[in-house]
Structure 1
Amino acid sequence: MVPGGDLGSLAAVVAAVTACMAYARFAARRLRPGLPRLAALLPVLAVLPLPPLAFRALHPRAISAFFLAWVAEFRLLLLASGQGPLRPSLPLPAFAAVATLPVTLRDPSATAAARRPGLGLAESAAMAALLAAIVSLYRHEERMPRYALLALYSVHVYLALELVLAAAAAAARATMGLDLEPQFDRPYLSASLRDFWGRRWNLSVPALLRQCVFRPVRARLGAPAGVLAAFAVSGLMHEVVFSYLTLRPPTGEAAAFFALHGVCAVAEGWWAARRRWPRPPRALATPLTLAFVGVTGFWLFFPPITRPGADKQTPPSLCDFEQWIDTEIKEDDKRYMEMCKKWEA
């Protein structure tokens, strides 16, 4: 942590990330895709996981870890192979935004009818008010039933992600003129797990996993293996983000959550391929899908971040280190004075 608290840390992180992206853009413009470009980008890939640890508050630490240790790492790996949304020809601010923020450039060939509308001002205000109300209820969490508390956490996660990602996209659109896709498409209307994870929830992440994991694995082992691999990688990356949030070792529960959903998504695809087999109507499929996501989330996804003390962890700061040094010096001085008194006696 730098002097000035998390605001000072934010300025330092922005400066460090901008420098990293300037170097990455410079290297990508001068090297062809392949091993030379990957070798040139390795220093940036090694540095990006470190800046989130500059934050003491858990929300900026977790969000920046998602942006830098997951999104930026995967997009730079795609850039090294000549794929993905990053283009070295982009101006530096746009390059840094596309590299680090979970935003997707809108397809210019898509018609206006096919484009999903972004989050409106009234809808954003309503979500922010609801999120504030949920946060205010946490003061009574000791008196809440466990499942009611977990339900609040579920809505909290959705609202926070929706607002943070919409704000990031709006900032990029306003400052750099980037035409960006919204990050969610009404996940509460999902009629299947494949619909929820692939077409409605945090859409920039499925786009990344589709390019980095699903397609290469599918080309070699088939579509079911590609789906399982994408869910497995998503689980591992969630373990990483949870470790940033709690500053504790991974528990494996998030990985198990996504592995379970990957298996179920493959089973859904197998069932859907049997055209003559019955499928539940949408009015039944949607509540069943949401119930499955919620129940398995209560069982595996939320426990690592809701256990007692998980939200109280903070990384050691320079001030903590200086305080420890000062304490040790005072203790040494005290022992020295006692020794001198003994010799004088």
Structure 2
Amino acid sequence: MATGDLRSLVAVAAAVSVAMWYVRLASRRLRPGLPRLVAFLPVLAVLPVLPLAFRAVHPRAISGFFLAWLAEFKLLLLAAGQGPLDPSLPLPAFVAIAIFPVRQRDPTTKNATGSGLAPVTSAVMAALLAAIVSLYRHKERMNPYALLVLYSLHVYLALELVLAFAAAVVRAVMGMDLEPQFDQPYLSAHLRDFWGRRWNLSVPAVLRPCVSRPVRALAGGGAAGAAAGVLAAFLVSGVMHELMFYYITLHPPTGEATAFFALHGACAVAEGWWAAHKGWPRPPRPVATALSLALVMATGFWLFFPPITRPGADKMVIAESEAVVAFVRDAGGWAAATVRSALTGRS
């Protein structure tokens, strides 16, 4: 399976490179608007299919996020003459910016490093994730809600590490800056803070210009337009999560992810309406944070995780995670033994 997915990785990388070369060429020759969008349609249709080339869950889901979400929305922005992509960019930089949460380095900023995780923070998160994976061997004896708490922490830590690692590699190879990814979501004061300013920030970075702002403009602006833009962004996020869940489970969408994000969109609009009344009471910051996280987790237990756990996809994720942890442990042991052997030989 690993060999097959390595071959798939090479094939997918080649297909993406060719697709982005075509998009870059088309955007150079066609003006923004309908002509560009029509020219992009073959690529927009192919990108969501490419992750299905992988057999394992992790590469299928990760490539699905990069190709079917980030790249798709960035290409839609390019078709409108907006967004971070510029057809004058060299092809490697064009591909990297289209797929990953990175941006061109600002030459006026010296020693820019972006917002990636510090090495110590990454090591701590990796250790915590490995500890969580090791606990799964006892999952049959766990309280179901305790297991879902572990799943929640697993999702957070895995997303943090995967996005930071991918962006850091691109930065090291191509000298680009990292886009913001996560900003301590466990400190969120409310849902708008959680989803809009702290959780997986590469998503709102593309949803705002692609969905929120156009819908707000169509609705005429003002409070009603802002609410419509927020609701539309959450609904689109829900639909995209249905696609991400399909990559994980290979089962048809259930609508639960869409319901989860529609509910959170409605709650975010209600929060904004309440916040607009300055004299109305507000809970203290620690209480507001606890309530916000409790709402995210409770609704996640109800609507977010069942489409994954019901078909047993969580078992495949756990098995793959255990294999990765074992590989890293064995590789670390081999490296330590090699270093000890070299030091002993010198002495």
Question: Offset of 1:136 from its aligned partner?
Answer: 1.8
Matches of 2:3 and 2:167 in 1, distance apart? 27
Equivalent in the alignment of 1:143: 141
Matches of 2:213 and 2:103 in 1, distance apart? 18
Contact kept, 8 Å, 1:116 with 1:185, in 2: the verdict is: no
Aligned AA for 2:203?
V
The equivalent position to 1:124 in structure 2, one of 122, 125, 137, is 122
Matches of 1:280 and 1:112 in 2, distance apart? 41
Question: Offset of 1:19 from its aligned partner?
Answer: 1.0
Contact kept, 8 Å, 2:257 with 2:303, in 1: the verdict is: yes
Question: Offset of 1:169 from its aligned partner?
Answer: 1.2
Question: Offset of 1:116 from its aligned partner?
Answer: 7.2
Equivalent in the alignment of 2:308: 305
The equivalent position to 2:228 in structure 1, one of 225, 229, 251, is 225
Question: Offset of 1:75 from its aligned partner?
Answer: 0.8
- Please give the root-mean-square deviation of Cα atoms over the aligned residues, in Å: 2.2
* Long gaps (5+) in structure 1: 315-345
Equivalent in the alignment of 1:25: 24
Q: Given the superposition, is the C-alpha separation of residues 13 and 116 from structure 1 closer, same or farther in structure 2, using an over 3 Å criterion?
A: closer
Q: Given the superposition, is the C-alpha separation of residues 112 and 313 from structure 1 closer, same or farther in structure 2, using an over 3 Å criterion?
A: closer
Question: Offset of 1:310 from its aligned partner?
Answer: 2.5
Contact kept, 8 Å, 2:115 with 2:178, in 1: the verdict is: no
Equivalent in the alignment of 1:44: 43
Matches of 1:171 and 1:270 in 2, distance apart? 42
Farther-moved stretch of structure 1 (81-90 vs 135-144): 135-144
Deviations, residues 71-103 of structure 1 (Å, cap 9, x unaligned): 111111110110111111111111111111234
Matches of 1:38 and 1:253 in 2, distance apart? 31
Secondary structure of the 2:302 match is helix
Equivalent in the alignment of 1:152: 150
Aligned AA for 2:130?
A
Matches of 2:106 and 2:235 in 1, distance apart? 28
Equivalent in the alignment of 2:197: 199
Aligned AA for 1:224?
A
Equivalent in the alignment of 1:244: 247
Equivalent in the alignment of 1:328: none
Equivalent in the alignment of 1:164: 162
Q: Given the superposition, is the C-alpha separation of residues 99 and 123 from structure 1 closer, same or farther in structure 2, using an over 3 Å criterion?
A: same
Structure 1 runs (4+) greater than 2 angstroms displaced: 102-113, 115-118, 308-314
Written as runs of structure 1 = structure 2, the 5 A alignment for 1:93-104 is 93-103=92-102
The equivalent position to 1:276 in structure 2, one of 270, 274, 279, is 279
Question: Offset of 1:108 from its aligned partner?
Answer: 7.5
Matches of 2:280 and 2:81 in 1, distance apart? 42
Q: How many residues align?
A: 312
Matches of 1:224 and 1:117 in 2, distance apart? 30
Deviations, residues 270-321 of structure 1 (Å, cap 9, x unaligned): 000000101111121111111111111111111111124234689xxxxxxx
Written as runs of structure 1 = structure 2, the 5 A alignment for 1:82-93 is 82-93=81-92
Deviations, residues 110-168 of structure 1 (Å, cap 9, x unaligned): 9999x974310011011111111111222221111100110011000000100010011
Question: Offset of 1:181 from its aligned partner?
Answer: 2.4
Q: Given the superposition, is the C-alpha separation of residues 31 and 6 from structure 1 closer, same or farther in structure 2, using an over 3 Å criterion?
A: same
Contact kept, 8 Å, 1:52 with 1:62, in 2: the verdict is: yes
Contact kept, 8 Å, 1:34 with 1:81, in 2: the verdict is: yes
Matches of 2:105 and 2:227 in 1, distance apart? 28
Matches of 1:134 and 1:308 in 2, distance apart? 22
Q: Given the superposition, is the C-alpha separation of residues 229 and 52 from structure 1 closer, same or farther in structure 2, using an over 3 Å criterion?
A: same
Q: Given the superposition, is the C-alpha separation of residues 187 and 193 from structure 1 closer, same or farther in structure 2, using an over 3 Å criterion?
A: same
Deviations, residues 187-226 of structure 1 (Å, cap 9, x unaligned): 1110010000011111110011100000001112110011
Secondary structure of the 1:4 match is helix
* Long gaps (5+) in structure 2: 220-224, 318-347
Contact kept, 8 Å, 2:114 with 2:177, in 1: the verdict is: no
Contact kept, 8 Å, 1:247 with 1:313, in 2: the verdict is: no
Matches of 2:144 and 2:107 in 1, distance apart? 47
Equivalent in the alignment of 2:343: none
The equivalent position to 1:134 in structure 2, one of 132, 135, 150, is 132
Deviations, residues 32-81 of structure 1 (Å, cap 9, x unaligned): 11111111111111111111011110011011111111111111111011
Residue 261 of structure 1 pairs with residue 261 of structure 2:
no
Written as runs of structure 1 = structure 2, the 5 A alignment for 1:175-190 is 175-190=173-188
Question: Offset of 1:106 from its aligned partner?
Answer: 7.0
> TM-score, length-normalised on structure 2?
0.85
Equivalent in the alignment of 1:327: none
Matches of 1:84 and 1:12 in 2, distance apart? 27
Aligned AA for 1:177?
G
Identity of aligned residues (%): 75
